[in-house]
Structure 1
Amino acid sequence: MPAGLVISAPASGVGKTTLTLALARAWRNRGLKVQCFKSGPDYIDPAFHAAATGRASVNVDSWAMDRGTIAHLVSRGSDADIVLAEGSMGLFDGVAARGVSGTGASADIAEMLGWPVVLVIDPSGQAQTAAAIAAGLRDYRPGVRLAGVVLNRIASPRHEDLVRRALNDAGIAVFGALPRHAEISLPKRHLGLVQAEEQAEIGQLIDEAARFVAEHVDLDAVLQSAASWSPQPAANGLNVTPPGQRIALARDAAFSFVYPHMLEAWRAAGAEIATFSPLADEVPDASADVCWLPGGYPELHAGKIAANARFRSGLRAFAETRPVHGECGGYMVLGAGLTDADGVRHEMTGLLGLETSFAKRRMHLGYRLAALAVPMPGHRAGARLRGHEFHYSTILAQPDTPLAIVHDATGAVIAETGSQRGRATGTFFHLIAEDR
């Protein structure tokens, strides 16, 4: 029977991902089967989890998913020895308005699954106050259990002793303390971590993190703190209709952000996926009945995309007879033009009139609930889609038919409606689930 833990923290940037990867690899090196999940909408971390464990990781999200969907997704850990769910932001951080089964907070997943929480605490600039923070998190919400803490970025043995004594007085277990060690930091970019597939040295980084953590953390104590867990079979699986029977999926360094559970759901429903690389000037598979362009970093490759005439003309030819959909970065590439951070405009495919710019960056971040005004591949007009938006581009023009009425998690209407022209559609949000 597997055991489960949630790795969380008081805030972002404390070291959750590094600890999750290190624990996963260290236990895997001991011969254990480790399954990871990501709580919340971050679509980059699951690829790192897969690199650490050798097993695919997916997102579980209480704002966008119902309990049945979450149960279905986590059941893939039924043959594992230990299951780790990496949290997002701080333990209780979510949105103000409840979604399908929660607010999107990591605490929702911990309570729902009955998994204790290992907190990563960074006591930089603190001593005993770190214990007050940990105790507050422990007591904040009944039903969420604290297993213990791992201290990160400890300045000195004296610093560690002060913090440990305070935590001991508060009745909180300390599994280990990590001194500052910049070598195991993972590279970052404006949307978060640099993608796992972009880093040739990712295996060595994870190995180093595992060695470092094993040296300073009691792995056996952490493992013993996990809760035995018997996966409950879900009454139903994912409520996902594939956009087509054979899907041409753009996949390379510019088009890489797509939720793993969506691809798995498409395949489970009988769809075939044929990948192609716009950066390699490839075109969609001629036998496909739909083309899907995921998000990614088109702004870093805009010049190459603009120069790849075979890709652009091939996609336009495809769209004459079959639907094409783009998410976020893919939506921008379906547009008329993209202006990069240096103020240079690059011509995109022109299937939509969208004009975007990174010359003046502005962050757009949050959950999205979209009521489709017109159909898009896999979803009828009137469908309610839940997704997440995260980008720094500014809309200069969005002249086509609005795809949807889009609200944020507070219910406010937002301007990023998506677009539809002919057989081309696009959204700034990444699709997570459709309301049942």
Structure 2
Amino acid sequence: MTRGLIIGAARSGSGKTSVTIGLMRALRRQGLTVAGAKSGPDYIDPGFHAAATGRPGVNLDSWAMAPGLLDSLLSKQVDGADALIVESAMGLFDGVRKEDGRSGAAADLARHYGLPVLLVLDISGQSQTAAAIAHGFATFDPGVKIAAVVLNQVASERHEAQARAAIEASGIPVLGAIYRNPDMALPERHLGLVQASEHAALEAFIERLADTMEKSLNLDAVLRAAGPVSTVSGADGHFLPPPGQRIAIAQDAAFSFVYPHAARHWREVGAELVPFSPLADDAPDASCDACWLPGGYPELHAGQLAAAANFKAGLVSFAETRPVHGECGGYMVLGKALEDAEGVTHEMSGLLSHVTSFARRKINLGYREARLLSDCPLGKAGETVRGHEFHYSRLTEPGSDEPLADLADAMGNARGHSGGRRGRVTGTYFHAIARG
């Protein structure tokens, strides 16, 4: 049976990702087959998990995904695996304040699946106080088991000894201490970490993280702290439907945000994904019956996209007879123009009439439930889709297209119309995760 752990912390920036990646590779070195997962909405970390384990990553989001969908995804993810490592988003208990186990917090997964938590504590600027934090985690929710602690950002042997003694005196095991090491830092940009596919010398970096974990952690004790993973397999109807039988999907440094579970499901039900690169001035394959422009970083490549005449002409021609859908970055490129960080405006495809700007930035972040106003690649009119928004660009001209959906936040508060629809072309800043 697969044994699993959740890597949790008090907040983002505590070192969860570095510990997770290094631990995955260290366990793989021991001959174990390791499966990875990320709680919450995150496109980037599953790519690092896949690189570290050699197996596809997955997201497990208790707010956006119905329980049956979580069961289905977890069952597939651990099939054939010896160990499951789930990386928590943000702090372990951070999510929507709901009482039904659908908060989006990693604690929901710990509680529902009985997965013990390995708590990563950044103890920079503190010593014995770390014990109070660990004690708080251990007692906050009786349904969430804190199995052990890993100390991070340790300054010295004395620093480690003080924190370790205080935590262990409260009855919580400490399974390792990671000393300050700038080489463990992962490069970041405005939407989080630089993606695994863009990380220079990625394999060597993962190997260094694994070296650090082997030196710093008691790996045998970590494995003993893991608990059995009980899964329920079976079909689930909350997957997003494939937008076509052959799907032309933009895939390059500007378009890369596709959830692994969605792409895998599309393939499993018989759809074919045909990648193309707008940055290489490729047009969508004319033999496809739908085109999908994922999110990504078009704001960093606006000039190159504006000059991609073959891509834009091919996209316009494709949209005359077949559906084209854009999410977030893809939505920006479907618009009339995009203003980059320097304030230069670049002409986009013009298939929708809005204008976006990255120069006049404002963060927009949170879970969203979309009620579709018409049939589109996300589903039928009247259906609901759960997902999220995360972008710094903003609409500077909303355009004159029909709205695609009505949005509500995670608590059900209305947020108004979202996106646009013109003919067969649809798009929105909203990233879809699963049917509601």
Gaps of 5+ in 2: none
Query: Match for residue 431 of structure 1?
Result: 432
In structure 2, do the counterparts of structure 1 residues 298 and 235 end up closer, same or farther at CA, with 3 Å as the change threshold? closer
Q: CA deviation at 1:188?
A: 0.6
Matched residue SS, 1:414? strand
The answer as to whether partners of 1:10 and 1:121 remain within 8 angstroms in 2 is: yes
Partner in structure 2 of residue 335 of structure 1:
335
SS at 2:296 equivalent? coil
CA-atom RMSD in angstroms: 1.2
Moved more, 337-346 or 70-79: 70-79
Question: Which residue identity lines up with residue 401 of structure 1 in the other structure?
Answer: E
- Residue by residue over 1:312-345, the C-alpha shift from the partner in whole angstroms, topping out at 9 and shown as x without a partner, is 0110000011110000000000000000110000
Report the residue type matching 1:266 in the other structure.
W
Q: Is the 8 A contact 1:116 1:147 kept in 2?
A: yes
Matches within 5 A, 1:10-29: 10-29=10-29
Provide structure 1 residue ranges, at least 5 long, that are not aligned to the other structure: none
Report if aligned partners of 1:258, 1:430 keep a CA contact under 8 Å in 2: no
Q: Give the match for residue 172 of structure 2.
A: 172
State the Cα distance separating 1:128 from its structure 2 match.
1.1
> What secondary structure is seen at the aligned counterpart in 2 of 1:402?
coil
In 1, distance between residues paired with 2:27 and 2:133?
29
Partners of 2:412 and 2:191 lie apart in 1 by 24
The one-letter code of the counterpart of 2:370 is: A
1:405 and 2:393 aligned = no
Cα drift, residue 282 of structure 1 = 0.3
Q: Within 5 Å, which residues of 2 pair with 1:366-381?
A: 366-381=366-381
Letter in 2 for 1:371: R
TM-superposed CA distance for 1:235, in Å, is 5.1
Shift of residue 78, structure 1, vs aligned partner: 2.7
Q: Which residue pairs with 2:197 in the alignment?
A: 197
Q: Which amino acid aligns with 2:165?
A: R
- In structure 1, the partner of 2:186 is 186
Q: Aligned equivalents of 1:298 and 1:289: distance in 2?
A: 24
Deviation at 1:125, TM superposition (A): 0.9
Trace 1:236-275 onto structure 2 (pairs within 5 A).
236=236, 238-275=238-275
CA distance in structure 2 between the aligned counterparts of 1:141 and 1:342, rounded to whole angstroms = 48
Q: Distance in 1 between matches of 2:79 and 2:281?
A: 41
Partner deviation per Cα, 1:126-164 (whole Å, 9 max, x = no partner): 111111111101111121101101000001111111101
For the Cα contact (< 8 Å) 1:96–1:409, is it kept in 2? no
Question: In structure 2, what residue type is equivalent to 1:421?
Answer: R
Q: Is the 8 A contact 1:241 1:269 kept in 2?
A: no
Identity value in percent: 56
Q: Which residue of 2 aligns with 1:72?
A: 72
Structure 1 Cα separation of the partners of residues 389 and 159 of structure 2 = 40
Does 1:295 find its partner at 2:295?
A: yes
Residue in structure 1 matched with residue 392 of structure 2 by the alignment: 392
Partner SS state of residue 49, structure 1? helix
Aligned to 2:305: 305
Q: Look up the SS of the partner of 1:401 in the other structure.
A: coil
Q: Residues 91-240 of structure 1: matches in 2 within 5 Å?
A: 91-97=92-98, 101-234=101-234, 236=236, 238-240=238-240
Equivalent residues, number? 434
Indicate conservation of the 8 Å contact 2:240/2:433, yes or no: no
Q: Per-residue CA shift, 1:288-307, capped at 9, x if unaligned?
A: 11100000000000000000
Report how far residue 231 of structure 1 moved: 2.5
SS at match of 1:43: coil
Question: What SS does the aligned partner of 1:131 have?
Answer: helix
Post-superposition CA distance 1:177-222 (Å, at most 9, x none): 0110011211011100000001131111110011011101101100
Whole-angstrom CA distance in 1 between matches of 2:57 and 2:159: 36
How far apart are 1:410 and its partner, in Å? 2.5
TM-score with structure 1 length normalisation? 0.98
CA contact (8 A) 1:416 1:427 kept: no
Of 226-235 and 152-161, deviating more is 226-235
Give the residue type in structure 1 aligned to 2:432: L
Any conservation in 2 of the 1:339–1:357 contact (CA below 8 Å)?
A: yes
What SS does the corresponding residue of 2:6 show, helix, strand or coil?
strand
Q: Is the 8 A contact 2:404 2:418 kept in 1?
A: yes
